[in-house]
Homo-oligomer: A and B are copies of this chain.
Amino acid sequence: MGDAQTAVALFGAAGYTGLELVKLLARHPGVRLACAASDGHAGKLVGELASGPDGLRFVTADEARRIAAGCSVALLAVPPEPAKALALALREAGVRVIDLSHAHRATAGAVYGLASLFAGEVAGAQLVANPGCYATAVITAAAPLVRHGLVGGELFVSAGSGVTGAGRTADEAMSLGEMYGEVRAYKVLRHQHVPEIELALGRVGAGVRVVLTTHLLPVARGIFATLTARLARPASSAELVARFREDYAGDPTVSIAETPEEVSLRRVVGTNACRIGVASDERGIVVVTAALDNLLKGAAGQAVENLNLMLGYPRMAGLEHLARHA
C-alpha cells in the first residue's frame, strides 16, 4: 500500500452515512480524510459526532470543493441534486467520484458499484454510483437465481428497513413515539429502486421483473429482504445453496446460510456482510432471505469497497475491524 496515504474528500459528512464514512476512513490504512464537509456543522470538531481523525473539523461544502480539487477521490453522501452538481465540478477537476446518492445509478456515464458483481469495472471507473441499500440486498440475493435462469415469472420482494434508512432528519413520523411497535409499507408500487435493480440483474442474466414492497420497521438499522418466485425449473434447496455458495465463493462480504431461517438482521448490523439464505419446495417455489446493515454494506461500507477497488487496495482494507457478525 506504500507509505503515502491517498487524500480523500467527503461531502455530507454529518449524516448517518457520512458519519459511518468518517469512522471507516479514519481507520483506513491507505487513506487520509482531507476534508469532511457539512454546512450545518462547519467549524465543529468531527470527533464530537463520531470517532474521526483527531482535530479534524467539519468545513463548508465550498471550502471542501477547494480541498477536494487536490484529492484523488471524493465521496458524496449528499442528496441527488447537490450530488449531480458536485460530481460534474469534481470530474472536471480530474477528481474521481463515488456518489452514494441515487443521482447516477441509472446513467450511462457511471459504473454501478455493486462490488460483489462488478468489481472489474469499478477498478477503472472515474465515477461510481454506489448502490442503494435495498438494491444491494435484492441484487445480491437474486443474482444467482437470475444467472442460472431459475426465476419463472416475477420476482416478488418484500423488504423492510430500519429508520436510519430515511436519513438523519427531524420528522415526526420517524419519532420513537410514532414508530414504537409500528410496521408500515411505503412507496408501494412506486418503484423507486426497481429500475436500478432490474437494470443490474439484466446484466447478470435474462431480464426479470421485480415487484418490490418496502416497509418501515421499528429498528434503528438494517435491511431484511424476502424474495419469492416460481422456479423456472425444479431445483432442490441443497442445489440452490450449492449454486449460491459457488457464485459467492471468495467474496469477503457475502455469506450463504444453511437455510433462510438462519439469516438474522441483528447479526449483520455493525458488519459489512450481506447474509443470504435460500430454499425451495416441492411446489416449485423458491424463497431467498437477505440481511445487511443499511449504513455499512448498504452504503458506507460498500463505498469503501469501491474506493479500494479504484485505488488498487485490498477490497476489505479499512473494513476488517468490523465484526464478521455480532
Contact = CB atoms under 8 A, between A and B. Distances in A.
Interface of A: 16, 23, 27, 50-51, 153-154, 156, 158, 160, 162-164, 166, 168-172, 174-189, 191, 209, 211, 213, 215, 217-222, 224, 226, 228, 230, 259-261, 263-266, 269-270, 277, 279-281, 283, 285, 287, 289, 291, 321, 323-325
A187 to B, nearest CB: 8
Contacts of A228: 156, 158, 211, 213
A16 B219 CA distance: 21
Contact of A263 (B162, B184, B230): B184
Given A180-B220, A183-B222, A287 B323 contact: no
The complex is assembled from copies of this chain, and their number is 4
A298 to B, nearest CB: 14
Given A158-B226, A220-B180, A321-B321, A169 B172 contact: yes
A175 B181 contact: no
Contact of A176 (B170, B191, B218, B279): B218
Contacts of A283: 209, 211
A283 B153 CA distance: 13
Interface centre among A50, A153, A180, A186 (most CB of B within 10 A): A180
A11 to B, nearest CB: 20
B261 A188 contact: yes
B285 A154 contact: yes
21 contacts: A154-B230, A160-B183, A163-B177, A168-B175, A170-B172, A178-B266, A180-B219, A181-B181, A182-B265, A183-B219, A184-B263, A184-B264, A186-B261, A189-B285, A209-B283, A211-B283, A211-B285, A213-B226, A218-B218, A270-B270, A321-B321
